[in-house]
A and B are shown apart, each in its own frame.
Chain A
Amino acid sequence: MANLFSPDAIEPTLQKKMLRGLIRIRRFEEKLAQLFKRGQLPGFVHLYIGEEAVAVGVCSALRSEDRITSTHRGHGHLIAKGASLNKMMAELFGRVDGYCRGKGGSMHIVSFDLGIMGTNGIVGGGIPIGTGSAWGDQHLGKDNVTVVFFGDGAANQGVFFESMNLAAIWRLPVIFVCENNGYSEWTATEKLTAGRIADRGMPFGIPGAQVDGNDVEAVYAATCEAIVRARAGKGPSLIEAMTYRWHGHNEGEEAFAGEYRPAEEQEKWRADEPISRYATMLSKLGVLDEAGYQQINEEELALVEASVEFALNSPFPEAEEALRDVFPTPQERTNA
């Protein structure tokens, strides 16, 4: 058991897979930034650049049947849980081949078959839903776990505390993963948040761990520990992953937000960048050389470019699509 969570125990195959996951998310998000800047991408877009190690570390520890609830900054979670870039990109463009046939967009992507219960446009909105899916699985005798992703801003929503309490008294197989990226929208989280978020489970008897959110293996290890606990029927865990949001709260915020993050702070976090940090480590371990890295990068870049092409080739939904699915018939649903 002692070495179960040490980097030595992580197979090179998984290490390469995790690096690929980090790169896939980064290239996808960079592409979105570019498309948004050109005015080609509609809606609100919240990018995950800089935080990739959290999604990849967490989701690499999950089984495909395990579930996640996500946030407004959810693209990374979806990709890490196995979502198709094509269907994501098509949804972001509002096209009929998107995950939700254009009815959801960035903040509402659902892929129920992959255990993706939904990104969410409301800060904290997914927390009780993920608590509920853990309750459902527990009640139905399935040993799935649910990971509830939320941000440091959502940690100040009352429903977070309500949900931790419910999860604790019912010993639900749920893992609360707080991505602390330092900013609650446009205000430094330290100005808005008392104490450490990782400590907020303590009064409920929920173990909390604060981990380096830019260290994908540290996140993976903490998640594995929480999963063991959850599947053993011992109840919920809380993980606070410390990371940093490179881009704004949303793309295009420079029109109104002004400068609110010190340059030194941004430089410090960029120097601690999760991808090159991990690539360097894998290189030192002899898992991957520079050529191997470049190959992964090019393959992922090609997938992202292909997803844009897929999306742009997909038609817009017919207007009548807007009137469907208010009350979907059970034949259509995948959770039947």
Chain B
Amino acid sequence: MTKNDGAQRSTYFVKAMQEGLAAAMREDPNVVVIGEDVDRSVIGATRGLLAEFGDTRVRNTPISEQAFVGAAVGGAAVGLRPVVDMMIGSFFYVAMDQLANQAAKLPYMSGGQINLPITYFTATGPSGGGAAQHSENIHPMLMNVAGLKIVMPITPYDAKGLMLSAIRDSNPVVYFQDHVLGGTKGHVPAESYSIPLGFADVKTTGKDVTVVAIGSTVLKALRVAAEFEAKGIGIEVIDPRTLAPLDFDTIAQSVAKTGRLVAVDNARLTCSAASEIVATISTVCFSDLKAPPERVAWANVPVPFSAPLEARVVVQDSDIRDAIEKVLAA
């Protein structure tokens, strides 16, 4: 798997998701896509699939999240490999029993009799004016469920490779597509390839501070890292890519080197993934730490509508910069 394979074919993030999905559908006839308006695709990840795979494999559902999130459980149990388009991450709340109580727990409760190869994917997070009920990032609470794998790619390249791995996985996988990344472009090979779940990507190497960032905050962290780099301070930016299981080994190796950790989440601070990363690393890397780790995440309020209000709540470059300076000053 090389990230520069010559041709430098470039495409959009949602198109890369679509390519991963189409590849999975070509290799396995039991892969079926359901969700609201998947024939035309509001966000874009299922666009064009209807023409190639037909309306029994690309099937619009009623606006009944409980019913179709649960139907995927029954369908997967009897041999389908359902891919469910949730459209907007906040809509998971409507179907939490079926996701957290049923899909996540049935394999365990049955003593391992049943596998549920389901991929639930959705656009998620603040999108600029989405307001409180269309801007949630629920990965922190899903990380607490047990029984769900969770991925959140941030490059088109990863978007394609992780989609194929998510669908091939024998377990329920929640695939989050950060809303604001959907229209970004990047290198994506035309051929099919997969990226294994559970492996972080070290985006930049640096000796002074480890910054673990999630979703679109990785791009913010990279901008800030470049500023510090210019001043001769090395920032190691890590994108976990998979949040469950989380690749603590890669993070711990980095912190063992830098001694300083800033964890950034694109979610509310309380019980965020950043909180979990800081807690775990503080324990396993305690003797390596040169400064108390810092968390950067949203204010503990719903995401507001108006642009200046939204900006006040979600993570800004300056929040990451301040946190890095704080761990450097300690």
With A112-B114, A334-B113 as known contacts, state yes or no: A326 contacts B75, CB within 8 Å.
no
Q: Are A128 and B69 in contact (CB under 8 A)?
A: yes
Q: Are A333 and B67 in contact (CB under 8 A)?
A: no
Q: Are A139 and B109 in contact (CB under 8 A)?
A: no
- Could you tell me the distance between the alpha carbons of A140 and B72 in the complex, rounded to whole angstroms? 14
B interface, how many residues as a size bin? 35 or more
Partner among B56, B80, B98, B102 whose Cβ is within 8 Å of the Cβ of A136: B80
CB neighbours (8 Å) of A120 from chain B are: 102
The answer to whether A129 has its CB under 8 Å from any CB of chain B is yes
- Could you tell me the distance between the alpha carbons of A139 and B107 in the complex, rounded to whole angstroms? 22
Partner among A103, A117, A127, A136 whose Cβ is within 8 Å of the Cβ of B111: A103
Distance to closest chain A CB from B150 (angstroms): 12
The answer to whether B283 has its CB under 8 Å from any CB of chain A is no
The answer to whether B70 has its CB under 8 Å from any CB of chain A is yes
Q: Are B67 and A100 in contact (CB under 8 A)?
A: no
Which stretch in A19-27, A157-165, A175-183, A193-201 binds the other chain?
A: A157-165
CB neighbours (8 Å) of A132 from chain B are: 70-77
The answer to whether A203 has its CB under 8 Å from any CB of chain B is no
The answer to whether B93 has its CB under 8 Å from any CB of chain A is no
Distance to closest chain B CB from A172 (angstroms): 9
With A99-B111, A333-B114, A333-B115 as known contacts, state yes or no: A129 contacts B78, CB within 8 Å.
no
B67, closest chain A residue (CB): A162
Q: Are B149 and A133 in contact (CB under 8 A)?
A: no
- Could you tell me the distance between the alpha carbons of A47 and B114 in the complex, rounded to whole angstroms? 26
Q: Are B170 and A330 in contact (CB under 8 A)?
A: yes
With A117-B77, A327-B149 as known contacts, state yes or no: A165 contacts B110, CB within 8 Å.
no
Q: Are B79 and A131 in contact (CB under 8 A)?
A: no
Partner among B74, B111, B149 whose Cβ is within 8 Å of the Cβ of A131: B74
The answer to whether A110 has its CB under 8 Å from any CB of chain B is yes
CB neighbours (8 Å) of B105 from chain A are: 108
The answer to whether A83 has its CB under 8 Å from any CB of chain B is no
- Could you tell me the distance between the alpha carbons of A58 and B189 in the complex, rounded to whole angstroms? 54
CB neighbours (8 Å) of A133 from chain B are: 74-75, 77-78
Q: Are B115 and A67 in contact (CB under 8 A)?
A: no
- Could you tell me the distance between the alpha carbons of A327 and B79 in the complex, rounded to whole angstroms? 17
Partner among B70, B72, B75, B111 whose Cβ is within 8 Å of the Cβ of A139: B75
Q: Are B66 and A128 in contact (CB under 8 A)?
A: yes
- Could you tell me the distance between the alpha carbons of A236 and B191 in the complex, rounded to whole angstroms? 43
Partner among B73, B109, B113 whose Cβ is within 8 Å of the Cβ of A128: B73
With A108-B109, A332-B112 as known contacts, state yes or no: A131 contacts B62, CB within 8 Å.
no
The answer to whether A60 has its CB under 8 Å from any CB of chain B is no
The answer to whether A335 has its CB under 8 Å from any CB of chain B is yes
CB neighbours (8 Å) of A327 from chain B are: 107, 147, 149, 170-171
Q: Are A136 and B112 in contact (CB under 8 A)?
A: no
The answer to whether A32 has its CB under 8 Å from any CB of chain B is no
Q: Are B70 and A159 in contact (CB under 8 A)?
A: yes
Distance to closest chain A CB from B169 (angstroms): 9
The answer to whether B97 has its CB under 8 Å from any CB of chain A is yes
With A122-B102, A166-B64, A333-B115 as known contacts, state yes or no: A129 contacts B77, CB within 8 Å.
yes
Distance to closest chain B CB from A221 (angstroms): 27
Partner among A98, A140, A165, A328 whose Cβ is within 8 Å of the Cβ of B67: A165
The answer to whether B286 has its CB under 8 Å from any CB of chain A is no
Q: Are B113 and A110 in contact (CB under 8 A)?
A: yes
B73, closest chain A residue (CB): A129
The answer to whether B68 has its CB under 8 Å from any CB of chain A is yes
The answer to whether B30 has its CB under 8 Å from any CB of chain A is yes
Q: Are B108 and A125 in contact (CB under 8 A)?
A: no
- Could you tell me the distance between the alpha carbons of A111 and B109 in the complex, rounded to whole angstroms? 11
CB neighbours (8 Å) of A334 from chain B are: 113-114
With A125-B101, A128-B67, A133-B77 as known contacts, state yes or no: A325 contacts B111, CB within 8 Å.
yes
The answer to whether B289 has its CB under 8 Å from any CB of chain A is no
The answer to whether A336 has its CB under 8 Å from any CB of chain B is yes
With A139-B56, A166-B61 as known contacts, state yes or no: A128 contacts B70, CB within 8 Å.
yes
- Could you tell me the distance between the alpha carbons of A335 and B149 in the complex, rounded to whole angstroms? 20
The answer to whether B180 has its CB under 8 Å from any CB of chain A is no
- Could you tell me the distance between the alpha carbons of A246 and B47 in the complex, rounded to whole angstroms? 55
CB neighbours (8 Å) of A111 from chain B are: 113
- Could you tell me the distance between the alpha carbons of A101 and B69 in the complex, rounded to whole angstroms? 27
The answer to whether B307 has its CB under 8 Å from any CB of chain A is no
Q: Are B64 and A104 in contact (CB under 8 A)?
A: no
The answer to whether B146 has its CB under 8 Å from any CB of chain A is yes
With A129-B102, A335-B113 as known contacts, state yes or no: A328 contacts B107, CB within 8 Å.
yes
8 contacts between A and B (CB under 8 A): A122-B97, A128-B98, A129-B73, A136-B76, A163-B67, A166-B67, A326-B107, A334-B113
* Beyond A135-B71, A136-B74, A142-B78, 5 additional pairs, beta carbon < 8 A: A108-B105, A139-B32, A166-B62, A325-B112, A335-B113
For the complex of A and B, the 4 pairs showing the least CB-CB separation, nearest first, are A132-B74, A128-B70, A132-B71, A162-B67
Q: Which residues of B contact A (CB under 8 A)?
A: 30, 32, 56, 61-62, 64, 66-80, 97-98, 101-102, 105-115, 146-147, 149, 170-171
Q: Which residues of A contact B (CB under 8 A)?
A: 67, 69, 98-104, 108, 110-112, 117-118, 120-122, 125, 127-137, 139-140, 142, 144, 146, 158-159, 162-163, 165-166, 169, 324-330, 332-336
